[in-house]
Structure 1
Amino acid sequence: MSTLRPHFSLSGLVHGARAALPAFPGFIVFAMAFGAAAAQKGLSLGETMGLSAFVYAGSSQMVGLEIWQKVWSPATILTIMTVTAVVNARMILLGATLQPWLKHEPKARSALNLFLLTDAGWLIGTRYHSEGGRNTGMLLGCGLALWLLWQASTFLGYFAGALVPEPKRFGLDLVMPIFFSVMLVPLWKGAKPALPWLVAGLVSLIVHALMPGYVFIIAGALAGVIAGMVME
Structure 2
Amino acid sequence: MSLMSSSPRPFFSMAGFRYGARAAAPAFPGFIMFAVAFGTAAAQKGLSLAEVIGLSAFLYAGASQMVGLEIWQKVWTPTTIFTIVTVTAVVNSRMILLGATLQPWLRNEPIARNALNLFLITEAGWLIGTRYYNEGGRDVGVLLGAGVILWIVWQIATIVGFFAGALVPEPKTFGLDLVMPIFFSIMLVPLWKGARPALPWLVAGLVSFITHALLPGYGYIVAGALAGVIAGMLIE
- Aligned partner of 2:56 in structure 1 is 52
User: Which position in structure 1 is the counterpart of 2:183?
Assistant: 176
1:2-81 correspondence runs (5 A): 2-5=5-8, 6-81=10-85
Distance 2:222 2:7 in 1: 34
Amino acid at match of 1:40: Q
- Normalising by structure 1, we get a TM-score of 0.87
Q: Which runs of 5+ in 1 are unaligned?
A: none
Decide whether aligned partners of structure 1 residues 197 and 40 sit closer, same or farther in structure 2, where only a CA change above 3 A counts.
closer
Q: Look up the SS of the partner of 2:217 in the other structure.
A: coil
Residue pair 1:87, 1:214 contacting (<8 A) in 2 also: no
Runs of 4+ in structure 1 over 4 Å off: 164-172
How big is the alpha-carbon RMSD for the aligned residues of Structure 1 and Structure 2? 2.3
Scaled by the length of structure 2, the TM-score of the pair is 0.85
AA paired with 1:90? R
How far off is 1:107 after superposition? Answer: 1.3
Unaligned residue ranges in structure 2 (runs of 5+): none
For 1:98, what is the secondary structure of its paired residue?
helix
Give the CA deviation at 1:178: 5.6
List per-residue Cα deviations over 1:9-34 (Å, max 9, x = no partner): 11111111112112111111111121
Counterpart-to-counterpart distance in 2, 1:78 and 1:143 = 29
What is the alpha-carbon distance in structure 1 between the residues aligned to residue 73 and residue 175 of structure 2? 31
How far is the alpha carbon of 1:153 from its aligned partner?
A: 0.8
What number of residue pairs does the alignment pair up? Answer: 229
Q: Does the 8 Å CA contact 2:44/2:166 hold for their aligned counterparts?
A: no
Change (3 A) 1:19 1:30: same
Kindly provide the amino acid, as one letter, of the partner of residue 101 in structure 1.
Answer: W
Name the % identity: 71
